[in-house]
Amino acid sequence: MSADSAPETDFAPKHFASKTDTMPETRRDDTTRSTERFGSLIDRIRRIDTVDGLPARYRLQVRAGLLDETLKLAHYSAVTHLVVAVAVAYFFWDSAPRAYLLGLLAVVAVVIAATLYMTWLYQRIFGSAVSELGVARGYRLSGGFAFALGLAWATMPIMLFSPASSDERLLVVGIAAGLISDAYVVGPLLSVSYLFAVPVILGSFIGLARSGEPIALSIAVLLVVYASFVGLSVRRMSRLSRQRILDRVRVEDQSETIGLLLNEFEENSSDWLWETDETGRFQHVSPRMAQALGCPIERLQRSAFRDLLVPGADARSDEARGRDRGQDRGQDWSEDRGEDRTADLLDQLRQGRAFHELLVAIETPTGLRWLELSGKPFTDQRGHVAGFRGVGSDVTQRREAEAHIAYLAARDSLTGLSNRGMFHEVASEACAAVAASARGDLVNLLYLDLDGFKKVNDTAGHGAGDALLRQVADRLRASVDANAQVFRLGGDEFAILHRGREAAEAEILAEAVIAALHRPYLIDGVRAEIGVSIGIARAPQDATELQDLLRKADLALYTAKEAGRGRWQCFDADLERRVRRWRELDGAMRAGLAGGEMELHYQPLVNLQDGEVVGCEALLRWTRPGHGPVSPAEMIPIAESTGFVITIGRWALRKACAEALNWPAHMRVAVNISSTHFRLPDFYREVEAALGETGLAPERLEIEITESIFLANTPHVLENLRALRATGVRIALDDFGTGYSSLSYLTQFPVDKIKIDRAFVRDLSSRPECLSVIKAIMVIAGDLGIDVTVEGVETEQQAEMLRLRRCNSAQGFLYSPARPSGEVTGLIELIPRAVKEARRPVRHVA
């Protein structure tokens, strides 16, 4: 008995019937007709999920499978609806009727609770044993709960959209769109999806249309288009789910049948029989053989065995199957899958010898078929070979399955490129071949890493990221010729193995790949742009072992990324020396900080108007015993890559605060903090602790950060900025005007000072546009109440030009390079006198 024919008494509470008996006749008729119309509508929707036309043993299992898939997702959907209901109540608590919000929340909670209970009850009672009654009840209850939930949510846009503000309206539309997309969750049961989604769609349309505003009507139309797309997509998903479950049921059923056939095959020791005469022509052709070969018995009768055989078919078919623009090698069936033995079979037939399970290729009207043949000769009364008798099996499907398994084992499932396992196999063989060759062949390994892929993947979603990777794979295939092979190693890493004679060939290929991958991509109508960096290593020039070759290509790739991305770099010995230097300094700097080898030097910041020293910037200096000074430009990138820069920053913060206590009270100390350090959740507490331990006044400390800190835009950045300024600590934006400079930073984030990069000061006298930029920055900073410091001042002419533009302060070699802490006091007295002396007019003697 199907769900549509289940007795109504299973679901209709008896007390409803008793109440109906007491109604007036007219009212009862109206109610009955309304109920019948509503029930008819629900039944029509439920009949969407019928699986008529199937055997009874399949129908119940398919319906149960669809219901089971839907119920498995009910927990997640339920929690989501409850969270959304709570969010609606929270966001509209002050702008919408609270009674309605509480009512909506209560209705959603009740329906969700009922749904979860029904899911638990169904799995507990009917989960282990599928029954028609249980499935029918599950369908009805699922549809009822979905419809109730849809009606509840349908009221939300009707009640909230018209009186809402613009921001709240946007929230209503977003929630409505999200609710409509929930139809995907219950997609296996199309009726449940429609029963939930249709009320929400209608309610959303009514809510938007009621406002009467043109933009609302436009959104309503777009919502209908979106809902139509969701409806069609869900319908297709439901159909695919139904077909998938049906296929699974059929496979299970057919597995039993196949088992019986295999048992019968073992009992009879044959699949089909064949017989030839002394000339090799068929004498007996069984119907099974004719069916396997796709030819009528009459055509096969008296035809020659050798006319059907296709010598060399294995090589042709498998190479055609495995070849993909030079990406894969032909399958080698001689290893463990069996090889074409057509020549052996012809030889055995010619010599009259028995054979067993020889694999041969047969050309048929339906294509190439693979047969496994066994046979032995029989003789006439004179003892001469009169022909052959034997058995045969059609193993085409088995070979195709084996080929497909081998294909999948060697392929990346997303892009269709050869995978990492195939890369190691092919590359190892190639390295060994060129190492043993004396012809001067080269194997170029191009190691690729996409630039900007993570941003697309994080912002547009993993689906868009997968689509992007497939397009990248297509472009890589189109960029290589038969001498190159493309692999996906994982994530956004690819490799190209190129065989050639000239080193320049790999470089030309790298240029072509960079140009191809740099072109914009279109993913679901959205434009995306990425790039690629490539490291190149060659065998046997750079290495003869694959692991060594891969390591050196990786070093070249890292260098290409470090140089600015979107470029290629060949390996050379300097890269290894740089890596060794990197590792050496990484270990030495940790010991150096602990051993007191590092110290802070201070470069004065001078008031451009009166020449007074208003503060100093703390700069890290490290002198290694026995090695000499280590440049911060070399040391800091290493520390940032390992995270040790945080430890250095904490040390520098405390030391600078402690040493600034020896300066006049009006002077500030500026400490550079890396973006990695500043993004820590409780960085401001570290600053407060340093000030508390040293006793330095907060207003005397200035934290210098770069604009890169705002790129990630983590919530901790703004929290730290506000907390530090609240305590009195000043914030300076270093290197302003270069890199990621944006004037929006000055309005979005609280800063007290901007430091104009030295690049603008260097060409101040020769490039008027540099002075124009500085003037513009000064005007903006003045309006925002932000101080300006100019870095890199080296001449009196530069200082005078900046002073006339009312810059606040400057630093540079004109005043002093960075000096040890003990010399700061002397600089405080010396610099003002030197500035006044430089500005004193020269007296001419008549």
Q: Is the pTM of this model over 0.85?
A: no
pLDDT of the residue at 130: 63
> pLDDT of 593-635, one tens digit each?
999 999 999 999 999 988 999 999 999 999 999 888 999 988 9
Q: How far apart are the first and last CA of the chain?
A: 125
Q: Please check the confidence at residue 5 and state whether its pLDDT lies above 50.
A: no
- Best-predicted range by mean pLDDT (251-260, 439-448, 721-730, 743-752): 721-730
Per cent of the chain over pLDDT 90 is 29
**E strands, 575-724, in order:** 598-607, 613-624, 628-630, 668-672, 701-706
- Best-predicted range by mean pLDDT (34-48, 318-332, 511-525, 783-797): 511-525
Same domain, 544 and 658: no
Same domain, 755 and 788: yes
Q: How far apart are CA 505 and CA 435, in angstroms?
A: 19
Q: Where residue 38 falls among pLDDT bands split at 50, 70, 90?
A: very low
Q: Is residue 31 assigned to a domain?
A: no
> pLDDT of 630-659, one tens digit each?
999 889 988 988 889 999 999 999 999 999
Amino acid at 554: D
Q: Please check the confidence at residue 320 and state whether its pLDDT lies above 70.
A: no
* CATH number of the domain to which 481 belongs: 3.30.70.270
Q: Is residue 334 assigned to a domain?
A: yes
Question: What is the arithmetic mean of pLDDT over 69-87?
Answer: 80
Residue 423 · residue 411 · CB < 8 Å: no
**E strands, 531-577, in order:** 531-539, 568-570
pLDDT of the residue at 336: 37
Question: What is the arithmetic mean of pLDDT over 121-127?
Answer: 66
Same domain, 319 and 428: no
pLDDT of the residue at 711: 67
pLDDT of the residue at 270: 46
Q: Where residue 129 falls among pLDDT bands split at 50, 70, 90?
A: low
Q: Is residue 521 assigned to a domain?
A: yes
Question: What is the arithmetic mean of pLDDT over 50-59?
Answer: 63
Q: Is residue 2 assigned to a domain?
A: no
Question: What is the arithmetic mean of pLDDT over 3-18?
Answer: 37
Q: How far apart are CA 834 and CA 830, in angstroms?
A: 6
Backbone angles phi, psi at 187, to 5 degrees: -55, -35
Question: What is the arithmetic mean of pLDDT over 3-28?
Answer: 39
The whole-chain average pLDDT of the chain stands at: 80
Q: Name the domain count of the chain.
A: 4
Same domain, 330 and 418: no
| Of 403, 419, 434, the domain-final residue | 403
pLDDT of the residue at 49: 55
Containing domain of residue 170, as a range?
55-251
Question: What is the arithmetic mean of pLDDT over 79-107?
Answer: 86
> pLDDT of 753-777, one tens digit each?
989 888 888 877 777 788 888 888 8
Backbone angles phi, psi at 12, to 5 degrees: -90, 120
Same domain, 71 and 167: yes
Q: Please check the confidence at residue 229 and state whether its pLDDT lies above 90.
A: no
- Best-predicted range by mean pLDDT (5-9, 316-320, 792-796): 792-796
| Integer CA distances (angstroms), 27 to 18, 32, 37, 256, 560, in order | 15, 8, 15, 58, 83
Residue 426 tokens, joined:
């092919």
Same domain, 685 and 713: yes
Same domain, 696 and 785: yes
> pLDDT of 692-724, one tens digit each?
999 999 999 999 998 777 765 667 888 999 999
Same domain, 678 and 815: yes
Q: Is residue 15 assigned to a domain?
A: no
pLDDT of the residue at 230: 79
> Using CB atoms within 10 A of its CB, is residue 428 exposed (0-12), middle (13-18) or buried (19+)?
middle
